[in-house]
Structure 1
Amino acid sequence: MLGPVEIKSVSPVFVGRASELAALDEALSRAAGEGASSASRTRGEPQALLIGGEAGVGKTRLVEEFAAAARRKGAVVALGGCVEIGADGLPFAPFSTALRTLHRELPAELAAAAAGQEGELARLLPEWGETGPGGHDEEGTARLFELTARLLERIAAERTVVLVLEDLHWADASTRHLLSYLFRTLRAGRLVVLATYRSDDIHRRHPLRPLLAELDRLRTVRRLELARFSRDEVGRQIAGILAAEPDPAHVDEIFQRSDGNAFFVEELAVATAEGCCPGLSESLRDVLLVRVEALPETAQNVARIVAEGGSTVEYRLLAAVARLAEDDLIEALRAAVNAHLLTAAATGDGYRFRHSLVREAVGDDLLPGERSRLNRRYAEALEADPTLVPADQRATRLATYWYQAHDPAKALPAVLDASVEARARHAYSEQLRLLERAMELWDAAPQEVRAALRPFDYAEAYPACGCDPATTPLRYVDLMAEAVFAGRYSGDREGALKITRRALRLLEEENDPLRAAWFWVQRARLVQAMARGDGWPELASAQELVRGLPPSEVHADVLASVAAWSMLHQPGPEALAAAEQAVRYAAMVGAREVELNARVTAGGLMTAAGDVEAGIAEMTEAKDRALAEGVHRVAGRAYINLPSALEGAGRSREALELLAEGTGHTHRFGLLDAESWVWANYSDSLFSLGRWDEAADAGAKALQRAQSAKPRGTAALCLAQLACARGDVEEAVRQLAAARQHFGAHDLMPQQWLPLAHLAVATAAAQDRLPDVRAEVAAALDAGVLPGTHRYGWPMLLAAARAEADARVLPAARPGREQALARIADAAGRLTLDAPLWHAHEAWIRAELLRAEGRDTVAAWSDVVTAFEPLERPYPLARVRHRLAEALLAHGGDDERARATDLLRLAHTVAEHLGARPLAGAAGALAQRARLPLAPAPARPADPVESLGLTSREHDVLRLVAVGRTNRQIAEELFISPKTASVHVSNILAKLGVAGRGEAAAVARRHGLFPAPAQAPSA
């Protein structure tokens, strides 16, 4: 009856999905920039889409149709699927497969896009060679993700690339995290990222569920849900399969049985056409097995072997496991392929089930003993010939096969080997899962197997605590230590904390203080990261355990951790002593990273104690050695702390030079949080030097690069400081609130709560909320401005003194003023004066306190102006010049009006240049009240000394600066040395109160010293 009818398992007609295909085509057009401006076409606009639907509903067919259309339009399509082996997934499997496609189709372009980062990106694509030597840390995964995002943006800069990731319901945690990162951070490139998943598999506890919820909140991600077919669509699908118009009753029956599921429609249509009468069975699972049972016995056996081998099984591996003659194997495979049960893999070197539902049905039909026997044969074959599978899958698949074979003796070392490979790829979630499996297998594995394992092989991140790792067997507690690292690095801090608790209970029964101390240090870091405390009780426990013990790496690390904590919370002599002892112990045992890290801490504590030059020298040497020895994380920390110390001492220009190096170093080595800290410090120093637009850009970059809460909080503080100075109080309050939220309340450090208090005082004063000002000041002073925190204490006290002085005429401010002023004066008297900048701040606060009492004098403000003039701080200098002008007009005679006019003009010019609206407005209002002209007289003064205080030689130098001459050119023209020219330029910048040569030229022209350069005639 069916003889003349051609029956196809897959309909040649693409049924339905018109709206979904249109959405995909629209995304492709937007990514390619079609219909956009020329700039948009050049940049491209990345598109992100998720396609969900139940198993068999037609996701793959839709993707195939879209991919074919995209190729016809010239796009490069890179397809990667999540690989399931038993219940496991392979780390980064879809990305590795997709990158292999790009490597094959665009070898030169991909090589250029990855240039300089091949070692790190080899964690995703082993074809790039050995993975780089980058250390393992909590930013390792973020570093890899950032490099991957930039790689994709570069490869899609000139052509449209479609990246398809299928079967996310099988995705490993690392793949899910990388996909989330890409969806959140891709900003440029002609790129479409398309991912599919089974929605019916996503139960309440499925690991993909949180990711879907997160992506739903992103406006840049579009989610499509495929519905089942209608009856008409089912009819058209059956007609395509049978190549004939079906009987309506037949369509009704199949539609009712399949409920519109496209794959079930195919299976039912073919089974009915072949006379299998699936209507007699109530189970669709039986329908799926109909085609299997119709195969010859040999083909059925091969199908069972393929079902247990994973999503795809390589031909050579299949041959080794099936143990058939090659002709018999090929005949069996041909039968399975002709029955539309199996299909050749996309790579052409293996086989997979045409649909995972059939594979699952065949796998579920295996007997328990049959399943373990097949896994053993897979493991034995792979162990005998490791080349049977791709290198990046070998360790994980072998570990899975041995585990599923229920052979602990073989499974334990195989699982540990796989965990090492996962660690090398920064797949820390998978490493943690494998280590948990190893702990599960530990007691079941024979003693001789465990005795042969070495800590050096499987726990390299964990110090050996004085044992020789080459001769000491791996211990269960070593696995727990490595799992703590994996938990921290993968973001599963809760799991890592639980492991430390179990390990410490286990160690209570043993006399092993070094291992216990090590776990206490890890707990300290975890509770800090999880906002469960400040970590000091845990560090104190570790310190007590190592007290009196001989030098060791753990002992040195405990001391270094205690010193680093104290530097941030309670700097003082005890902290410095701990840091110096950590340096000595680490040097004794050769723990180089611990030693250099402790030296950075010691240098910071020296500067906090007032020994600025020695502290800077110590940190500089530690930085240089860390760079020379490739200890990148310590160098990154030095690039944060050293410029911070220089800025704290008022040496902002020196800080900028180091920060420029630091941004490059931290970016090159993917130290994302460190890079954020460096950009935040950059913003601070640029703000100090009056380069506010650049400071805003640096603050935005700090926020963008931050991966964790505290760097985000610091970046928000930078932006709040800038907004407040420019008069945007609403934005300042918003950024201040964001900073408070990022910092939290569990572990506030002086370098956080003092700047928070400073900006809270400044914003409250700007809104005339004096009670809030006093409350913030009282809270800050009650907490205590500790020695070594002067960098943050001086600005806070200054803001408080200014607020009191500005409010002195308000009757409501009188109650409590005397007490408030006394507390400010007392706190200022206890802060260090170890740098000219803080001498200047002390003089400024003294003058503001006098102003708050109505007793400020010209002499007091003159002292402040004199203190700030050589400091390269244009904004504070402009502010105190404004106050001196105010004092001159209030207390001086008519002969002081000219001086006050010049001061106001300078203050107003700088304020206008910086965009400091409150200061510009105050200077303008004062000039208006005093009837002083802010604009200079139109005629050029005969003597520049009278207007700006310049010498005759400085006038000549400024003339050359105004026309763009360098110091060397100035020296040649005026017959002086370049060094002398540099000194003259520095003096000019200080006298004019500007930060750079361009501003100096602008001030000179504004005062009419030199004519503006002639404009070239237009063509």
Structure 2
Amino acid sequence: MLGDVETRSVSPVFVGRAGELTALAQALAAAAAGEPQALIVGGEAGVGKTRLVEEFTAAARAAGAVVAVGGCVEIGADGLPFAPFSTALRALHRALPAELAAAAAGQEQELARLLPELGDVGHAPSHEDSTARLFELTVRLLERLAAERTVVLVLEDLHWADASTRHLLSYLYRTLGRGRIVVVATYRSDDIHRRHPLRPLLAEMDRLRTVHRVELARFTRAEVHRQLTGILAAEPEPATVDAVYARSDGNAFFVEELITANACGCELSESLRDVLLVRVETLSETAQRVARIVAEGGSTVEYPLLAAVARLPEDDLIEALRAAVGANILLATPDGDGYRFRHSLVREAVSDDLLPGERSRLNRRYAEALEADPGLVRADERATRLASYWYHAHDALKALPAVLLASVEARKRYAYAEQLQLLERAMELWDEVPDEVRDTLRPVDPTESFPSCGCDPWTSPLRHLDLLAEAAVAARLGGERERALKIVKMALRMLEEENDPLRSAWFWTERSRIVSAMGRGDGWAEIATAQELVKGLPPSSVHALVLAIAAGWGMIRRPGPESLAAAERAVEYARLVGDEPIALKARLTRGSLLVAAGDVETGLAEMREVLERSSAVGLMAEALRAHVNLGSCLEDLGRPRDSVEVCEAGIAVAVAHGLRDSEGWVRSNLVDSLVTLGEWQAAREHAEAVLQTTQSAKPRAAAAVRLAQMAVLSGEPAVGRGHLALAREWLGRKDPMAQYTLPMAEVDLLVAAAEGRPADARAVLEAAADDALVTGKHRYVWPLLLAAATAEADAVGLPAAEEGRAGALARISRLVRRVAAPGPVWQAYSLHVSAELARAEKRDDAARWAAVVAAYEPLEAPYPTARVRHRLADALLAEGGRREEAAGLLRSAHATALRLGARPMAEELELLAARARLSLTAPEPEPAGPEPDDDAFGLTPREQDVLGLVAAGRTNRQIAEELFISPKTASVHVSNILAKLGVATRGEAAAMAHRLRLLEPMP
């Protein structure tokens, strides 16, 4: 009877889940139509997630889809980095070998970190972009595979997922944009406690509209009845249904186990855990022993490894496995190479039933077997599993070197979170190992050694500080900056008792990076400390690194002779010790500083050489940094077209290598140059792309500021305020940089001016005055000064703007005298600011504006050129005569304003043309708007008198007294004036009266 029940205990019929299966089927259909689909299936252990996925994948295969399934692997308390993705990609490799090879072409070395079958991972240095690049290439690989066929990717048991797997899945769900692909992930919901690491990922997925959640509930009594009917192949007794339903509470797996236990004639205990062990306890002693060995080996155990650990005659082992499989306790893996428990709940129950000494002994035997024959498991899993087995065997002497080896393997795969866990485990084991044993530790791979901190730890005994150094880097690269900072502080406390300046300097530079990245300071204090520590020491990589970082800090925040000298020495020291990556880093900084110092061609040539060399030796992150810096320098020099060319090439490199974050930096520079060139729509598209795909705060903030600027200039100040708020949130307040604070101040000032808040506009400039004097930041200072001067000129006539005007104009003038204007573009800006100051003081004239127009016209700067043409036309009309020239200027400026979408400027031009009775659409002097005898927009003489008094700041009662009319009549006149001028407030009417010279006769 037992045998009959055991072979039928898995429900032969699929019960319930119609809605959930329909949702999966709809996702498959949508994917087949070319729309990628992402789903997460959750439910408690045993509720039927695996069965639902099996039914879905069977239907998908029947529909012609390629299905790849990968599961998160639990080894003791450790997960294998990227295990489900590696398994699924391996399945795709078997199913579509030629297609996968074509999709991976050119990126085999990187993708081999997930799929070793593609080749050797090589020895690429770790970098902040390394993980993001791997993720981007993985997504692109899947999209290419799913371009012509439907692919179903199933990732099971996310509750066991390692951090790297969770991060990759998050990236996949957020960025998957094309292809006929369905990604389904499952997780055990009852395991997700408040602090479970999967919880943040689930919360993030809930915010994505592209991810569909499917939650499996327990069975109802009717569904349990149907399940029991399928298992028993007969109608169950109502009492049996009631009892099983009550005990299982509708959990599908518990229903199976309870009916099995009942059929066995076993007395049911109150503990469901005991129910799960019923099948195991009915096996022979040998079969039970094999089950216990499999339970401790991990989620899946390969047959050769199991045979080595079990140490049974082959026939006895096979018979034991046959019995366990026949009892539906174990299952053979799909490839037939190993065994796993049919359900993880049973494996957990068997594992929990082991005695502590028994568990340690089994882990030791696994470790010894794997050490004796490394070929028993896959090469990409060997190091991690060996480290786990030795650790859980409680053998520190064996565990420490195994854990260190596993940490190196994790780094090779860019699995920095797992690398950090392993290094922390190594630090835990450190004091348990005698000094003489630690002294024997040597590199397993010299090309992947720990950070040297000034010496090579692999030619001298490995030190605890070396582990801290590697752990700090792993934490930083893995995004755990808080943990990285704690590790660095711990190392620096240890170094207080040692005379080791190079190691100390290295940790201070690391601390500078972390503090700056976290927005907790600018990092200069830490760099200065490092410089003091290396002062007077012989050349070394650490010395060169400190100087290079100091020069880079100065390039961004304080360019000048000191920064240039630091860069020069960094290059020299790096060359002396043969450290080319640091030499290239320092040379790039030197090139930027040379440009800032006025040695333009030498600096640009240096940067181009660094770009070429970095690309040639495969340092793509540094090559992209060269694209960023070179593009920025060209924009500084007023060569936006050249900057666009460099940036577009950089974007192509970043896309080709999957360096999404570097792409964001390059693209944000491209936005700047496109704005300069007047290609605002393209600039908006690139800025939005930065916001959607880039993780780093600074390029996102820069893009948001440009979006804010374009919004204000397009007549949407409220939208601009929103973008500006995002930029401030991303940048934080601990590390203000002029290249970000000055453009934000410019937008703030533009918003205040547009909303008629002159006092606020002046306060913005006053707060930004110190940043405006930073050397080498003229590219950001001149637009700010221009915005301030224009705001003062436009506010002439506003009563609210009179108080404080003289002080504001004096402040702008002082700044103008102290800001450099190198090159034609900034000289044009300087003339423009001076002209606006003259307009604010009512002393501008056509000759002054003609000089500004002449300065701008050779440049590629459509927006400011249109603005000064507007002002020249206004001045010409005010002086009388040259109407034809003024009309041409107005038409040109108006066409530019319309093309850019700069509505406020277009409207001002239309008003001026109407006032002057000039056409904006034809060269003939045809009337445009008011009649020839109406040069005041239909204002009656009395209304013109009232407007003059409004411009002087008079109230309705004061106007009434001065004109001998009633206050009510004065109010009616003011309302008519506002309507005819198309403005909303008295202040706007006053400002327009002055700007359009409505209070003066038109010549």
Please confirm whether the aligned pair reaches a TM-score higher than 0.5, indicating the same fold. Answer: yes
Q: Which residue is equivalent to 1:918?
A: 904
Q: Within 5 Å, give how 1:97-116 maps onto structure 2.
A: 97-116=87-106
SS at match of 1:586: helix
Go from structure 1 to structure 2 and tell me whether the alpha carbon gap of 1:461 and 1:838 turns closer, same or farther (over 3 Å shift): farther
Aligned pairs, number: 925
C-alpha distance in 2, partners of 1:7/1:456? 49
Equivalent in 23, 27, 37 of residue 47 of structure 1: 37
Question: C-alpha distance in 2, partners of 1:810/1:863?
Answer: 28
Q: Tell me the residue number matched to 2:984.
A: none
Q: Displacement, 1:133?
A: 4.4
Give the C-alpha shift of residue 783 in structure 1. Answer: 4.3
Unaligned runs of 5+ in 1: 34-43, 940-1019
Residues 526-565 of structure 1 mapped to structure 2, 5 A cutoff: 526-565=514-553
Identity across matched positions, percent: 66
Q: Which amino acid aligns with 2:477?
A: Y
Q: Identify the residue that residue 655 of structure 1 maps to in structure 2.
A: 643
Post-superposition Cα deviations, 1:425-451, rounded to whole Å, max 9, x if no partner, equal: 010000000001111111212334322
Look up the SS of the partner of 1:696 in the other structure. helix
* Structure-to-structure mapping, 1:269-288, within 5 angstroms: 269-278=259-268, 281-288=269-276
SS of 2:127's equivalent in the other structure is coil
Query: What's 2:665 paired with?
Result: 677
Residue in 2 aligned with 1:353? 341
Aligned amino acid, residue 130 of structure 2: G
Query: How is 1:811-826 mapped onto 2 (pairs within 5 angstroms)?
Result: 811-826=799-814
Partner of residue 197, structure 1: 187
Match for residue 943 of structure 1? none
Equivalent in 559, 565, 578 of residue 566 of structure 2: 578
Aligned match of 1:407? 395
Q: Which amino acid aligns with 1:903?
A: L
Q: 1:118 to 1:648 in 2, by over 3 A?
A: same
Q: Could you say which residue in structure 2 is the equivalent of 1:983? A: none
Q: Which residue is 2:382 aligned to?
A: 394
Once the two structures are superposed, residues 925-973 of structure 1 have per-residue CA deviations (whole angstroms, 9 ceiling, x without a partner) of 211111112223489xxxxxxxxxxxxxxxxxxxxxxxxxxxxxxxxxx
Q: Which residue of 2 aligns with 1:936?
A: 922
Deviation of residue 362 (structure 1)?
A: 1.0
Structure 1, residues 57-105: CA drift from partner, whole Å, max 9, x if none?
1111111111111212222211110001111110000011111111111
Give the aligned residue type for 1:565: W
Deviation for aligned residue 1:267: 0.9
Q: Which amino acid aligns with 1:870?
A: P
Matched, 1:225 2:215: yes
Q: Distance in 1 between matches of 2:859 and 2:4?
A: 96
Shift of 1:325: 1.6
1:117-159 C-alpha deviation (Å, 9 max, x unpaired): 1111111111111115433112211111111112222222222
Q: Is the 8 A contact 1:78 1:98 kept in 2?
A: yes
* CA distance, structure 2, for counterparts of residue 63 and residue 57 of structure 1: 12
CA distance in 1, matches of 2:535, 2:100: 54
Q: Which amino acid aligns with 2:218?
A: R
Q: 2:48 aligns with which of 58, 62, 65?
A: 58
Asked if 2 retains the 8 angstrom alpha-carbon contact of 1:319 and 1:329, the reply is: yes
Shift of 1:812: 1.6
Deviation string 1:290-331 (CA, Å, 9 cap, x unpaired) is 211211111111111111111011111111111122111111
User: Are 2:495 and 1:507 equivalent residues in the alignment?
Assistant: yes
- The one-letter amino acid of 1:602's match is R
* Per-residue deviation, residues 354-401 of structure 1 (Å, max 9, x unmatched): 111111111111122211111111111111221111111111111111
Matched, 1:148 2:148: no
1:623 to 580, 599, 611: 611
CA deviation after TM superposition for structure 1 residue 7, in Å: 5.9
Match of 2:151 in 1: 161
**Consecutive unaligned residues in structure 2, runs of 5 or more:** 926-1003
1:902 aligns with 2:880: no
Q: Is the 2:505–2:546 Cα contact (8 Å) retained in structure 1?
A: yes
Indicate if the aligned counterparts of 2:749 and 2:787 stay in contact, CA closer than 8 A.
yes
* CA contact 2:741–2:771 (8 Å) conserved in 1: no
> Contact 1:100–1:125 (CA<8 Å) still a contact in 2?
yes
Instruction: Work out which of the residue numbers 161, 164, 172 in structure 1 matches 2:162.
Output: 172
Alpha-carbon separation, structure 1, partners of 2:54 and 2:876: 81
Residues 742, 771 of structure 2: 8 Å contact kept: no
Distance 2:529 2:341 in 1: 57
Q: 1:753 aligns with which of 738, 741, 745?
A: 741
Look up the equivalent residue of 2:282 and give its one-letter code.
A
Tell me the SS of whatever aligns to 2:335.
Answer: coil
Relative to structure 1, is the Cα distance of residues 273 and 723 closer, same or farther in structure 2, using a 3 angstrom cutoff? Answer: same
| Conserved 8 A contact 1:168-1:198 | yes
Q: In 1, distance between residues paired with 2:504 and 2:391?
A: 31
Distance 2:446 2:581 in 1: 21
* 1:819-858 pair list within 5 angstroms: 819-858=807-846
Moved more, 100-109 or 790-799: 100-109
Instruction: Give the Å deviation of 1:224.
Output: 2.1
Paired residue type of 1:103 = H
Give a deviation string over 1:705-748, Cα, whole Å, max 9, x none: 31111111011122222223333333222222211211111111
Deviation at 1:782, TM superposition (A): 4.2
Letter in 1 for 2:902: A
| Contact kept in structure 1, 2:668 and 2:700, CA below 8 Å | no
- What CA distance in whole angstroms lies between the structure 2 residues aligned with 1:506 and 1:70? 59
Matched, 1:442 2:442: no
Amino acid in the other structure paired with 1:822: A
Judge conservation of contact 1:517–1:545 (CA < 8 Å) in 2: yes
Q: Output the TM-score relative to the length of structure 2.
A: 0.90
Partner Cα distance (2:449, 2:681) in 1: 43
- 1:243 corresponds to which residue? 233
Shift of 1:458: 7.5
RMSD: 1.8
In the TM superposition, residue 470 of structure 1 has moved relative to its aligned partner by 4.6
Query: Distance in 1 between the 2:447 and 2:757 partners?
Result: 57
Q: Are 1:254 and 2:244 counterparts? A: yes
Please say if residues 7 and 243 of structure 1, whose CA atoms lie closer than 8 Å, have aligned partners that are also in contact: no
Structure 1 residues 423 and 205, CA gap change in structure 2 (3 angstroms):
same
* Cα distance, 1:502 vs structure 2: 0.8
Within-5 A mapping of 1:973-988? none
Q: Helix, strand or coil for the counterpart of 1:158?
A: coil
Q: Against the structure 1 CA distance between its residues 501 and 455, is the aligned structure 2 distance closer, same or farther, given a 3 Å change threshold?
A: farther
Q: Secondary structure at the match of 1:932?
A: coil
Q: Secondary structure at the match of 1:886?
A: helix
1:622-675 alpha-carbon deviations (Å, 9 max, x no partner):
223322333222221111111111111111122222122211222333333321
* Alignment CA distance shift 1:8-1:456 (3 Å): closer
**SS of the residue 1:164 aligns to:** strand
Partner Cα distance (2:874, 2:186) in 1: 69
CA contact (8 A) 1:639 1:659 kept: yes
Asked if residue 305 in structure 1 is aligned to residue 293 in structure 2, the reply is yes
**Separation in 2 of the partners of 1:561 and 1:476?**
25
| Residues 8-17 or 20-29, more deviating | 20-29
| Cα pair 2:454 2:503 within 8 Å, conserved | no
1:13 aligns with 2:13: yes
1:10-63 per-position Cα deviation (integer Å, ceiling 9, x unaligned): 010111212221222222222223xxxxxxxxxx22222212111111111111
In structure 2, the CA distance between the partners of 1:301 and 1:329, relative to structure 1 (3 Å rule), is same
SS of residue matched to 2:155: strand
**1:947 aligned partner:** none
Q: Given that residues 113 and 412 in structure 2 are in contact (C-alpha distance below 8 angstroms), is that contact kept between their aligned partners in structure 1?
A: yes
In structure 1, C-alpha distance between the alignment counterparts of 2:465 and 2:3, rounded to whole Å: 69
**2:416 is the counterpart of 1:428:** yes
Distance in 2 of aligned mates of 1:698 and 1:5: 64
Partner SS state of residue 197, structure 1: strand
Of 701, 711, 715, the match for 1:713: 701
